[in-house]
A and B are shown apart, each in its own frame.
Chain A
Amino acid sequence: MIPMLLGVSIIAFGLLSLSPGDPLAAQRGNPQVPDELIRRIERQYGFDKPVPEQYLRWLGRVVQGDLGYSFKFKRPVADVIAERMAATLLLALFSTLLTWFLAVPLGVWSALRRSEWPDQVVSVLAFVGMSLPSFFLALLLLYGASVLPELPLIGRIPIGGLVSPGFDQLGPVARVLDVLKHLLLPGVVLAIGGLAGLQRVARGSTLETLSQPYILAARARGLSDRRVLWGHAFRNAANPLITLLGFEFSALLSGAAFTEIITSWPGMGLVALEAVRSKDMFLVMATVLMGSLLLLIGNLLADILHAWNDPRVKLS
């Protein structure tokens, strides 16, 4: 795990040092910042040294837990990342739950009604969901939410951001509700994107399990369809799905970026874009490393879940 992350950091650092532009351009252009200060910052972070030395210095600081300073946000990178990571994880969790609650029953249903109209309708819809680029879907839903009249229970669906203005004055319950309302739009966009793949796997896996001899045996003993499905077939059919959960989660980290940007959800994707645009070197490095780390953790999670649900698999 560590050597892989080292490799990622070398590639990212190398690419960044190839890129034109100056991380201190804004400070240099500001007449209020004295040249002396800029030279001091340069010396402090080693911007005047050759690239390999810069990298080693950066690595040395990261090992000590110092991710550096963000020149764009004028705060330590660690603080910015922690805040944004929480937002991204919240969004990923919410949309994963939403996807699963919709996709698994739909998949099982279309497997039970194989080749009948429900199966066909669901599979066409799945293709549509799979083919809608997340940013276009986000734009469509934004437009929809903006023309929608006030809804009875929810009120207006917020069109972007994490919280409403005046969030600090709200009580605890109202705060949770406010964040949930803001989650709705990006969460639905991501859920629709993930729905199709999961539904297809759920359908295929249920079909395969239902054709096994032990299902036939259970049926022969006179068990009801419901008992056969939920008591015998489902847990085995869920095997590949559970493996997918980890991958799904890590895919969300990358796939959520466009949705975050368009719905201005202040997560890792949005901060990565802002960091790259303003050449905020240390922030870019931190977002790339954190993204890779989360991907690794997601894959690990997939392995662990797989071993937990399937006794035939052993973790070595």
Chain B
Amino acid sequence: MNGTTGTFSRLRSAFASSPLAKTALVVLGGLYLAAVLAGWLAPYGMDDESRGHSWAPPSSWHWVDGRPSIHPVSYTFDENARRVYVEDSSRAVPVRLFVNGRLFGLDSLEAAATSEGGASARLYLLGADARGRDLLSRLLYGSRVSLSIGIVGVSISTLIALVVGGLAGFFGGWVDRLLMRLCEVFMLIPAFYLLMLLRATLPLDWDSRVVYLSIVLILSFIGWAGLARVIRGLVQSLRSADYIVAARALGVPPLVILRRHALPQTFGFLAIQATLSIPGYVVAESGLSLLGLGIQDPQTSWGNLLQEAMSIAEIRLHPWSLIPGLFLFAAVLSYNLAGDALRDALDPRSDR
């Protein structure tokens, strides 16, 4: 490991020399900022439904009186019993900035007035779902779950790996054998099956916060074993280092040596490893929610939103329900690009 300044300048030069990695950082920063500000950026609340706008397509913009506006819409059914939306072009509702305590949206009074055909105005930048909820707003609220779960999950599994790998590597003997056999058994169960098994032990109909927590726990349970083995190897090689032997001779208790002197040596490696594995957690949460085993409506996440696109008939009728997947893709791609630059900067072996 280099000193802090060396590491920092290597990091900076790695990101400065790669425009892709820089862009990735900006995209990630934007996504996280949007997640934090979701309550203000989203034109509607998370569960704000409008039954009259079931599957409304993205609103089309019109320029009325020098202002961007939208027309109220209402639907009828065509001969194939498909919903067709028609605009009431006699009335235009302007899209305003800083309205209803949010960044943008329709003024609630102006939007509430219904026209003769029963059409009312609602702003859908990316379309609506079956209950007429705004996809953009749900995407923004959902990004809170999707983007946080990776970081929380990685932290927990790194913590488990540190404890297990540290104990096994430092004490050796039967502790080591027992813990490592346990790791190997867990690594032998293919991730998807372990995911299914763990999910089966927890009921679905809990409070949303509990569901979030249990999903985080499940995800952390999958990643820890491989990491624990690597940490064990690192700690094992440190055990005979002079300063550890010296600390022992001075009578420092073993657990203090492990916590204060041995484990901190693995942190540089762990930082890279954690960044590289975050996208895996993000995808796993989305997959779980996509199968209906994760975050439950009305709470939302990108995977949960993508559930609307699960059947081919649904995608053909409302292709905009695929949009959450694009956000997922952007986040994972950015994480991968940034992680790659990080690895190049911090891992001396990767000089190519």
- Residues of the B chain whose Cβ atoms lie less than 8 Å from the Cβ of A254: 190-193
Which B186-201 residues have a C-beta within 8 angstroms of A?
186, 188-193, 196-201
16 residue pairs of the A-B complex, CB under 8 angstroms, read A8-B189, A11-B185, A15-B200, A16-B200, A136-B329, A139-B315, A143-B312, A143-B315, A253-B190, A254-B190, A273-B291, A279-B200, A284-B196, A291-B192, A291-B193, A295-B190
The answer to whether B196 touches A7, judged by C-beta atoms less than 8 angstroms apart, is no
Cβ of A142 under 8 Å from chain B: yes
Give every chain B residue within 8 A of A139 (Cβ-Cβ): 306, 309-310, 315, 322, 325
Q: Is the CB of A160 within 8 A of B325?
A: no
State whether A146 touches B316 (Cβ < 8 A).
yes
Chain B residues within 8 Å of A, Cβ to Cβ:
20, 181-182, 184-186, 188-193, 196-203, 279, 283, 286-287, 290-291, 306, 309-310, 312, 315-316, 319, 322, 325, 328-329, 332-333, 335-337, 340, 352
5 tightest A-B CB contacts, nearest first: A254-B190, A7-B185, A131-B333, A136-B325, A257-B192
Instruction: Determine the main DSSP class of B at the interface with A.
Output: helix
Contacting residues, chain A, for B329 (C-beta < 8 A): 131-133, 136
Contact size range, A: 35 or more
A269 within 8 Å of B (CB atoms): yes
A89 in contact (CB, < 8 A):
no
Which of A146, A204, A276, A295 sits near B196, CB closer than 8 Å?
A276
Interface contact A143-B325, CB-CB below 8 Å:
no
Which of A72-80, A93-101, A122-130, A164-172 participates in binding chain B? A122-130
- Select the residue from A11, A128, A135, A261 with max chain B CB neighbours within 10 A: A135
**Closest Cβ–Cβ distance, residue B326 to chain A (whole Å):** 8
Query: A102 within 8 Å of B by Cβ?
Result: no
Q: Are B287 and A4 interface neighbours, CB within 8 A? A: no
Contact (Cβ within 8 A) A204 B189: no
- Would you give the shortest CB distance from B27 to chain A, in whole angstroms? 12
How distant is the Cα of A250 from the Cα of B312 in the complex, in angstroms? 29
Is A18 in the interface zone, CB < 8 Å from B? yes
> How far, in Å, is A297 (CB) from chain B's closest CB?
11
Q: Chain A contacts of B333 at CB under 8 A?
A: 127-128, 131
Residue with the greatest number of chain B CB neighbours at <10 A, chosen from A20, A159, A294, A296 = A20
Question: Does A140 interact with chain B (Cβ within 8 Å)?
Answer: yes
Contact B306 A136, beta carbon cutoff 8 Å: yes
Which residues from chain A contact B196 at a C-beta distance below 8 Å? Answer: 272-273, 276, 284
* CB contacts between A and B, total, < 8 Å: 131
Q: Given that A147-B316, A276-B196, A287-B193 are contacting pairs, would A133 and B287 also be in contact in the complex, using a CB cutoff of 8 Å?
A: yes
Establish whether residues A291 and B189, one from each chain, have CB atoms under 8 Å apart when the complex forms.
Answer: yes
**Nearest-CB distance from A141 to chain B (Å)?**
11
Q: Give the CA-CA distance A135 to B200 in the complex, in Å.
A: 21
Contact A8 B312 (CB under 8 A): no
List the B side residues contacting A11 at CB < 8 Å: 185-186, 189, 197
Q: Assess the B336–A127 pair: CB atoms within 8 A.
A: yes
Considering the chains assembled together, what is the distance between the CA atoms of A221 and B190 in angstroms? 50
A4 touches B189 (CB 8 A): no
Contact A4 B336, beta carbon cutoff 8 Å: no
A258 to B303: give the CA distance in the assembly, Å.
12
Provide the residues of chain A in CB contact with B283, threshold 8 Å.
Answer: 133
Q: By the criterion CB–CB under 8 Å, are B192 and A295 in contact? A: no
CB of A64 closer than 8 Å to a CB of B: no
A-side contacts of B279, CB under 8 Å: 131
CB-based contact B188/A133 at 8 Å: no
CA distance A177 to B109 in the complex (A): 61
**In the assembly, what is the distance between CA of A291 and CA of B193, in Å?**
8
CA distance A15 to B222 in the complex (A): 14
Given A7-B184, A132-B329, 11 extra CB contacts under 8 A: A4-B188, A5-B188, A7-B188, A15-B197, A139-B306, A139-B310, A140-B322, A143-B322, A276-B200, A284-B197, A292-B189
